[in-house]
Chain A
Amino acid sequence: MIERIRHLGQQGCALLEALGRAGIFLGQSALGVPSREGFHLWLRQMHFVGVMSLAIVLVSGLFIGMVLALQGYTILVDFGAEQALGQMVALSLLRELGPVVSALLFAGRAGSALTAEIGLMKATEQLTSMEMIGVDPLRRVVAPRLWAGFVALPLLTIGFSVVGVWGGQLVGVEWLGVFEGSYWSNMQSSVAFVADVGNGLIKSLVFALVVTWIAVFQGYDLIPTSEGISRATTRTVVYSSLAVLGLDFVLTALMFGELS
């Protein structure tokens, strides 16, 4: 019994220590004076984490929008309310599915790649050799990736929602025959820019920070062996997904809780 309590305490301490390390790590890498060189490195990472994730995010957005319209239509048509389809699709995407699904896809596509890349650089002593050259890998390797993730995910989320709304229109209007005017005008009248688009974007920014932070920290902090890299990559996806879903609930409660 005592042994179990001791074990629990040890785990608690280890968790707090890891959180502390991650916090210092974030501070040391994210804060600093931007430079021209840093901008170029950031741009290259924007291509790697942003542009390269575009296909999976947009295709997923299209399908999610199409499925939403299909499912929404079958329910709404029973109440003769299929005119509200545009409103339903847009609100679901902007408030919830856009930020959350994009973040989950981003964790799987870009987050795991960031962890593996930084981890392999650590395992092959590239980070150590950079330190010995007198270049801080936190500034040179981690910071551009962190900032690229932070900027790229909200942009990808916007793309996801836009394509999703279009997918909803394809199914709802073109296929199921909802009147086009009501699809768009209901959407226009019910979506508030600050409350829906703005809050969705805030969610996305929070998810971007958390997912990228987890990914780069896991890569930097891993045990530099093949097993260590594989575990850290898995941890990135698992922790990011849980953090996104958990934070989504908290943020939704804060943003939309009073609506009820």
Chain B
Amino acid sequence: MFDNISKDDEAMTDSAFVEVESVHFSRGEMEIFRGVDLTIPRGRITAIMGPSGTGKTTLLKMIGGQLTPDAGHVRIDGQDVHALSRKALFVLRRRMGMLFQSGALFSDLDVYENVAFPLRVHTDLPEVMIRDVVLMKLQAVGLRGARELKPSELSGGMARRVALARAIALDPELILYDEPFAGQDPISMGVLIQLIKRLNEALGLTAVIVSHDIKETLSIADYVYVIADGQVMAHGTPASLDTDRDPRVSQFMHGEPDGPVPFHYPAMDFHADILGSGGPR
């Protein structure tokens, strides 16, 4: 009997939780996605990586339903995110958590109230239980002692941990991490890596990490998509990407400054520019 359950669990973990199908998106004249396809399996940590400005955060916002693609579909647990009504979208979002790069804590509430916010608006729990849940979540991120501080009194790393506690307050099924490691000192970085890994293991969360911190992301990701030039350039397990021979993938994975992705922004010939034939500026 128990064997059956574990097999079912296995099947559940391998099914797709988020599906992104041939998504196209432009901002003004600039084409950001030209047919992106991704599958994010349930219960795993999937990383979306790529150079800055390739639209990783845009993709995350599309999964969260904040941006609508020009063409293509995003499905979460079988529901087309962009076909939902505003109300249904907000209901779906209760099953997701998102960790913003800036933390995005509510500046008029203290740490405790920030974590309690989702519980207060979405549940009818009595105050005693809200307190217990908030303290448990704060304990998980190591900031139970900071519950009375205001967001302005927190360091960047602490703010992100509080934001993480808030994102998991309602025990979501899917959590989206936007650049969780950017601008963190080595200790905060280590803490965050451990937290993300532990949350995934302990709660079986489906996690999507958008990042360009290769070493840290690869250390916890189960599967990686590399996005560049508006398309998925490569995908695979961290080990397979590490040995990928594609020069573009290799340049990104090994952090080489110049290669197929040029160091210079497109510009006219340097000599001609310096000698002044390029106009006043």
Contacts and interface: CB of A to CB of B under 8 A. Distances in A.
Interface of A: 37, 120-121, 124-126, 128-136, 140
Given A131-B90, A134-B121, 9 more contacts: A124-B107, A125-B100, A125-B101, A126-B106, A126-B107, A132-B98, A133-B118, A134-B93, A136-B90
B149 interface: no
Nearest to B122: A134
7 contacts: A125-B101, A126-B104, A128-B66, A129-B163, A134-B90, A134-B122, A135-B118
Given A133-B93, A134-B93, A134-B94, A128 B121 contact: no
Interface residue tally of chain B, by bracket? 20 to 34
A191 to B, nearest CB: 43
A129 B107 contact: no
B12 interface: no
A61 B57 CA distance: 51
Q: Name the prevailing secondary structure of the B interface residues.
A: mixed
A120 B106 CA distance: 11
Given A126-B106, A126-B107, A131 B93 contact: yes
B37 to A, nearest CB: 24
Q: Name the prevailing secondary structure of the A interface residues.
A: helix
Given A124-B104, A126-B104, A129-B104, A136 B93 contact: no
Contacts of B94: 133-134
B118 A128 contact: no
Contacts of A134: 90-94, 118, 121-122
B48 interface: no
B96 interface: yes
Contacts of A130: 106
Contact of B104 (A125, A136, A140): A125
B43 interface: no
B7 interface: no
Contacts of A125: 100-102, 104
A171 B105 CA distance: 52
B104 A131 contact: no
Contacts of A37: 121
